[in-house]
Amino acid sequence: MSNSRFWILAIAVTVSVNIAGFVQLEIPAGSLQAIRLEQTYGFIGLGLLYVAILASPLTKVFTNFPGKEAYLHARRAIGVSAFYYSFLHV
Rg from Cα positions in the chain: 15
Confidence check: pLDDT of 52 > 70: yes
What end-to-end distance do the CA atoms of the chain give, in Å?
32
Q: What is the pLDDT of residues 10-50, one digit of tens each?
A: 999 999 999 999 999 998 888 899 999 999 999 999 999 99
The model's pTM is: 0.88
- Look at residues 5, 38, 45 and name the one whose alpha carbon lies nearest to residue 20: 38
Confidence check: pLDDT of 1 > 80: no
d(C-alpha 72, C-alpha 30), whole Å: 41
Query: How confident is the model at residue 63, as a pLDDT?
Result: 87
The mean pLDDT of 54-66, rounded to a whole number, is 89
DSSP 1: -
Confidence check: pLDDT of 2 > 80: no
39 phi/psi in degrees, rounded to 5: -65, -40
d(C-alpha 22, C-alpha 40), whole Å: 11
